[in-house]
Amino acid sequence: MVEKYPRSFDLKQPLPPEPANGPANPKVSILVTTYNQENLITHAINSILAQEVNFAYEIVIGEDASQDRTREIVVELGKQYPDKIRVMLRNPEEADRDRRIRLAGKINYLNALRACRGQYIAILDGDDYFTSTHKLQRQVDFLDIHPECAICFHNVLAVYEDGSREPEKLCPADQKPISDIKQLLWGNFIPACSIMYRREPLIKIPDWFLTARMGDWPLNIFKAQQGKIGYIDEVMAAYRVHVAGVWSLRRRSHQLLTSIKVLDNIDRDLGFKYSDSIRGSKTRFFFELAELYVERGHSRFALIPLKLGLWASRGRHKGLLSLWLRLRTPGLYRGYTNLKKAARTFAQRRKALPRF
């Protein structure tokens, strides 16, 4: 089924009418967003259609007025599987306008998200794909028996399209089976193509989200206010790492600055309830940013994140203090490091002395 987006996006706009076809009460909506992915989108959709489940599901495809054959492909897929696929087509002129002000991807995502009707919502970017035919069933079963969890995710394999590296798992071996919002505020550990969460209650999306240079992490945080985060230690999807990846293209310094700005907005939206956790996360980002500037030979630029990081940590971060001394008072820093070495040597020698 092919549907047209509303002319403009409004967070307060009522939900779209029920579609004329497709499952009447889908248990799961799989949200797929795509733009200029003609060589990948069919693989992504087929990996969903291959799922072995005991419930009804719908695939909601947000097509963002691609400039290649992506739109033609998803429209054809919608015609082939009208009982499962709903294609949301953006107006090309509006999409082009939004792209000029860097809003196209967010508008596309949020409109498609609003159209999802399932009890649970799974996320899949058009260039990623599911690797297990039991992925959806495993996550639905998990959420059904864990009402305390608002989010369920699993391990994902990162696949490097240029062959520069071997595929690798994104989640660490010691990933906790149950996490919460405080741990998520430390940094996003949930791969986008692994997410499944409860649709209700609906999350409130603030205006700043539309212009933020990231989307997955703040949306996960908003949802994590409503419950725990469950983890399934199994690889069930693949994340393609390629030159077209938006976030991977941005320099690390820009990623860090974006993360800090997002945390400031989230802190305010959460009523400063988790300020301690957010300050700790920001301190880590400030420290990494300062180190990055120093490594690139821009020590002068490192002073600003150093000051902000020391303020955020209340002057307790040893790494920031050490780097501050190194840059501002190199003589004192050398004396400090020499004193530390001497104390360490003295302690080692004292430990080596025979005891009587």
Is 293 a domain residue?
yes
Residue 202 shares a structural domain with residue 285: no
Is 319 a domain residue?
yes
Task: Return the CATH number at 151.
Answer: 3.90.550.10
Higher model confidence: residue 328 or residue 17?
A: 328
Q: What percent of the chain has pLDDT over 70?
A: 86
Residue 17 shares a structural domain with residue 74: yes
Q: What percent of the chain has pLDDT over 90?
A: 67
Can you say whether residue 227 is alpha, beta or left, with left for phi > 0 and alpha for psi between -120 and 50 degrees?
Answer: left
Residue 202 shares a structural domain with residue 88: yes
Provide the pLDDT for residue 265: 96
Model confidence pLDDT, tens digit, residues 309-333: 999 999 889 889 888 888 888 766 6
Rounded to the nearest integer, the mean pLDDT of the chain is 88
Is 33 a domain residue?
yes
Is 267 a domain residue?
yes
Residue 85 shares a structural domain with residue 60: yes
Residue 276 and residue 282: Cα distance in Å, rounded? Answer: 10
Provide the pLDDT for residue 54: 97
- Return all residues near 21 (Cβ < 8 A) that are at least 6 apart: 1, 82, 83
In sequence order, what are the beta bridge partners of 29? 58, 121
Domain count along the chain: 2
- Ranking 88-92, 133-137, 262-266, 352-356 by mean pLDDT, the lowest is 352-356
Model confidence pLDDT, tens digit, residues 244-291: 444 444 588 888 999 999 999 999 999 999 999 999 999 999 999 999
Provide the pLDDT for residue 213: 82
Residue 54 shares a structural domain with residue 120: yes
Domain boundary among 223, 249, 275: 249
Closest CA to 170 of 161, 180, 159: 159
Give the amino acid at 168.
E
pTM of the shown model: 0.85
Provide the pLDDT for residue 225: 95
Residue 242 shares a structural domain with residue 273: no
Residue 199 shares a structural domain with residue 63: yes
Residue 168 shares a structural domain with residue 261: no
- pLDDT reading at 101 higher than 60: yes
pLDDT band, residue 207 (cuts 50/70/90): confident
Residue 26 shares a structural domain with residue 156: yes
- pLDDT reading at 15 higher than 90: no
The range of the structural domain enclosing residue 296 comes to 252-343
- pLDDT reading at 237 higher than 50: yes
Domain boundary among 191, 219, 249: 249
Provide the pLDDT for residue 5: 39
Provide the pLDDT for residue 42: 98
- Ranking 41-45, 120-124, 309-313, 319-323 by mean pLDDT, the lowest is 319-323
Is 274 a domain residue?
yes
Residue 322 and residue 174: Cα distance in Å, rounded? Answer: 30
Residue 160 shares a structural domain with residue 306: no
Model confidence pLDDT, tens digit, residues 140-165: 999 999 999 999 999 999 999 888 88
Model confidence pLDDT, tens digit, residues 342-354: 667 767 776 766 6
Provide the pLDDT for residue 354: 66
Q: 3-class secondary structure for 50-71? A: CCCCCCCEEEEEEECCCCCCHH
Residue 143 shares a structural domain with residue 283: no
Interior CA angle at 219 toward 107 and 237, to 5°?
Answer: 95
**Could you give phi then psi for residue 194, rounded to 5 degrees?**
-110, -5
Domain boundary among 203, 227, 249: 249
Is 41 a domain residue?
yes
Is 213 a domain residue?
yes
Provide the pLDDT for residue 247: 46
Is 193 a domain residue?
yes
Residue 99 shares a structural domain with residue 187: yes
Task: Please tell me whether the peptide bond between 354 and the residue prior to it is cis, using omega within 30 degrees of 0.
Answer: no
